[in-house]
Amino acid sequence: MTAKARILVVDDERSMQEFLEIFFRREGYHVVTAGDLETARAHLEEDEFDVVITDIQMPGGSGLDLLRAAHEVSPESIVIMITAFASTETAIGAMKEGAYDYITKPFKVDEIRIVVEKALEKKLLSSENRRLRSELRHRERDRTIIGNGPAMQRVFELIGQVADSKANVLISGESGTGKEMVARAIHAGGERHDRPFVVVNCAAIPEMLLESELFGHVKGAFTGAFHNKAGLFETADAGTLFLDEVGELTLALQVKVLRLIQEKTFRRVGDTHDQRVDVRIVCATNRRLQDEVAAGRFREDLYYRLNVIEIPMPPLHERREDIALLVDHFIQKYSRELGKPVQGASDEVMDRLMTYRFPGNVRELENVIERAVALSRQPVLGLESLAPAVLHPAESAGAKRIPSGGVDLQQLMDDYERGLLLEALEGGGFVKKRAAQLLGISFRSFRYRLEKLGLEDPQPGEE
């Protein structure tokens, strides 16, 4: 395994504990020892172990009891039994209950080394199989980036150029343009393709929890931290970590991410020891990070570390030549998923789709087609199946004519935004987090917009 494997050794003989601890530490493993069932169970409850090596005979309970406890508390741990020759039948019974293997005393060090190596290979294979099954569940959604126009051809070219590079990549563009799909394509086309691809949406995780999610924590680091927990950087070791909406990171977290990039080390929340990690970072943002840097909300040194190579994603209204391809793709996808015999779209539907601006980009187009397929009663999509926003975009956008004397565009936009913020506050019971959710933005972004427009809370409300 790439990361240092963790082994729990359980034996009531202190000399055997010390011998195995010294041996496995020399082999490069992290080792914890216990002399009885109660201590061993406590270790399992507060930490994660790849392999548990336990004697069958122990005070306070047997190795079989520990095997059952491991299945309950740490089901992914692999258990190896150590037994005297006279207890071989008990060891075989343990294997029937899920133990990986057993070793008979006295044993040779090469024997236990090989058994542990094979156990770790099995655990790695199981982890990879789980990861691949998860990837397969998302394959239909994520495997295809569609586009024949020049804008997307440039994106494809950049993906091919950076996939095998170790350089960090920043994918910029409006929401819904397919930034995560590009990140997955970069990972799939590089040398890390068979290692983990871990996604973190920095805007979706509450600020107070994000540090623990990224870096992990140790038991007792804060209220509710009952166990040691590996963070997402550790989970992505040897693979790729995708930081979506990286502009939402607080300045304090930006410092820690910068340190990880520079030194390849990090520290779990509440820990006193650093850990090394080998992770390629791919980021995405729908903000102009240059503006965030200028405003003091994003560190300039981190910006240049992340933006080694930038891939700008074009909005859908700038690549209308791809709309017909995307429509055909989504019709096939959702007619298959929803069991509807829809084969295409009418000319009238295509005309409306080609002239609609799609502020939500490809994600909005996919939603429009999914809805149309679900509602359609004909093999060809008609206008009646389209969403009102597409059929009557001017009404949906609240369009206004420009008077002869002109308008103050900035004031008009500020007034419109102010009205939406106040309406969201009222709809959310004057709780800003709920109001932010109603507008589909983060709490930090909502708070910033309130401050920008000089809005005081109309009524006192909880954050």
Q: Hey, what are 222's tokens?
A: 């804060």
Structure tokens at 201: 């949406």
At residue 227, the pLDDT reads: 78
State the average pLDDT over residues 70-84: 86
Q: Residue 224 above 80 pLDDT?
A: no
Mean pLDDT within 331-338:
93
Quick one: how far is CA 93 from the chain centroid?
A: 40
Residue 87 has pLDDT above 90, yes or no: no
Tell me the one-letter amino acid at 312.
P
Mean pLDDT, residues 66-83 taken together: 88
**What is the predicted pLDDT for the residue at 88?**
65
| Confidence grade of residue 170 (pLDDT, cut at 50, 70, 90) | very high
Q: What is the pLDDT of residues 397-410, one digit of tens each?
A: 544 455 555 667 77
- Residue 269 DSSP code: B
Which amino acid, residue 433? K
> Are 216 and 210 within 8 A, CB to CB?
no
Q: In the predicted model, what is the mean pLDDT of residues 235-256?
A: 94
Burial class (CB in 10 A: 0-12, 13-18, 19+), 374: middle
The whole-angstrom separation of Cα 135 and Cα 139 is: 6
Question: In this predicted structure, what is the pLDDT of residue 85?
Answer: 63
The answer to whether 308 and 162 have CB atoms below 8 angstroms apart is no
Torsion angle of C-alpha atoms 170, 173, 177, 179, degrees rounded to 10: 10
pLDDT, residue 459, reads 45
Q: How many CB atoms lie within 10 A of CB 5?
A: 21
d(CA 57, CA 149): 70
- The per-residue pLDDT for 138 is 45
Token pair 């990837």: residue: 135
What is the structure's pLDDT at 137? 43
> Which domains does the chain show, CATH number per domain?
6-125 (3.40.50.2300), 151-314 (3.40.50.300), 317-396 (1.10.8.60), 409-452 (1.10.10.60)
Q: Tell me if 282 sits within 8 A of 159, measured CB to CB.
A: no
Residue positions counted in the chain: 463
How confident is the model over 286-328, as pLDDT tens digits?
Answer: 999 999 999 999 999 999 999 999 999 999 999 999 999 999 9
Tell me what pLDDT residue 350 has.
94
pLDDT value of position 294 = 94
Average pLDDT on 354-366 reads 92
Which one has a higher pLDDT value, 92 or 263? 263
Write down the pLDDT at residue 393: 78
What is the pairing mode between strands 275-276 and 280-285? unpaired
Both structure tokens of 448: 């910033």
CA pair distance 253, 363, nearest whole angstrom: 29
pLDDT digits (tens, 9 = 90+) for 102-149: 888 888 888 899 999 988 888 887 776 666 555 544 443 444 688 888
* H or E stretch at 201: strand 197-201
Q: What is the 3-state secondary structure of 81-129?
A: EEEEHHHHHHHHHHHHCCCCEEEEECCCHHHHHHHHHHHHHHHHHHHHH
CB-neighbour burial class of residue 93 (10 A; exposed 0-12, middle 13-18, buried 19+) = middle
Mean pLDDT value across residues 327-355: 93
Full strand arrangement of the beta sheet holding 78-84: 30-34, 6-10, 51-55, 78-84, 101-105
Q: Which DSSP symbol is given to 202?
A: T
As a whole number of angstroms, the distance between CA 213 and CA 429 comes to 29
β 78-84/101-105 pair status: parallel
Rounded distance between C-alpha atoms, residue 145 and residue 163, angstroms: 15
Percent above pLDDT 90 for the chain: 49
Kindly report the number of other CB atoms within 10 A of residue 405's CB atom.
5
Left if phi > 0, otherwise alpha if psi is -120 to 50, otherwise beta: which for 178? left
Find the mean pLDDT for residues 52-58: 88
Tokens coding 277: 């990690």
Between 80-94, 241-255, 354-368, 448-462, the lowest mean confidence (pLDDT) is in: 448-462
CA distance 326 to 146: 7
Beta bridge partners of 416: none
Q: Do residues 18 and 62 touch, judged by C-beta distance below 8 A?
A: no
Least confident of 249-258, 392-401, 413-422: 392-401
Q: Measure the CA–CA gap between 64 and 98, rounded to whole angstroms.
A: 10
Does the structure show a pLDDT above 90 at 171?
Answer: yes
Among 228, 302, 240, CA closest to 277: 240
83: buried, middle or exposed (CB in 10 Å: 19+, 13-18, 0-12)? buried
Rounded to whole angstroms, how far apart are CA atoms 5 and 431?
Answer: 46
Phi, then psi, of 64 in degrees rounded to 5: -65, -40
**Which residue, among 7, 15, 11, has the nearest Cα to 52 in the 3D structure?**
7
Q: Residue 243 pairs with which residues in a beta bridge?
A: 200, 283
